[in-house]
Amino acid sequence: MNLLREFTQYLSVLVPFRAASAGTLLCLGANEIVMGSLGELGPIDPSVANAFNPEDPHNPVARLPVSVEDVMAYLSLAREIAGLESEGSLAGVFNRLVDKVHPLALGNVHRNYALIRSLARKLLELHMPGEERDRVEDIIKNLTQRLYAHNHMISRREAVQDIKLHVTAPSARLEDLMWQLYLDYEADLKLLEPFNPAALLKPQEYSVEFEATGGIIESIPCLDAFVFNGTITRESQPREGAPPVNVTFTRQGWRQLI
pLDDT band for position 252 (50/70/90)? Answer: very high
pLDDT band for position 241 (50/70/90)? Answer: low
User: What mean pLDDT is predicted for residues 94-118?
Assistant: 89
User: What mean pLDDT is predicted for residues 184-198?
Assistant: 93
CA distances from 204 to 200, 208, 234 (A): 12, 11, 10
Could you give the dihedral angle defined by the CA atoms of residues 21, 123, 104 and 76, in that order, rounded to the nearest 10 degrees? -70
Q: Give the residues across from 35 on adjacent strands.
A: 15
CB 17 within 8 A of CB 39: yes
Which residues fall within 8 angstroms of residue 50, CB to CB, at 6 or more apart? 63, 104, 105, 108
Average pLDDT in the chain:
91
Q: Could you report the per-residue pLDDT of 212-234, keeping only the tens digit for each?
A: 999 999 999 999 999 999 999 99
The reported pLDDT for the residue numbered 256 is 96
User: What mean pLDDT is predicted for residues 192-210?
Assistant: 90
Q: Quick one: which of 99, 92, 150, 121 has its CA closest to 28?
A: 121
Residue 159 has pLDDT above 70, yes or no: yes
Residue 5 has pLDDT above 80, yes or no: yes
Q: If you ran DSSP here, which 8-state letter would residue 154 be given?
A: B
Q: Could you report the per-residue pLDDT of 14-38, keeping only the tens digit for each?
A: 999 999 999 999 999 999 999 999 9
Residue 41 has pLDDT above 90, yes or no: yes
H or E element: which one contains 172?
Answer: helix 172-189
Backbone phi, psi, residue 108, to 5°: -65, -35
User: What mean pLDDT is predicted for residues 172-184?
Assistant: 97
Give the separation between CA 256 and CA 79, rounded to whole angstroms.
Answer: 54
Strand 32-35 to strand 12-15: parallel, antiparallel, or no bridges (unpaired)? parallel
pLDDT band for position 140 (50/70/90)? Answer: very high
Q: Could you report the per-residue pLDDT of 108-127, keeping only the tens digit for each?
A: 888 888 999 999 999 999 99
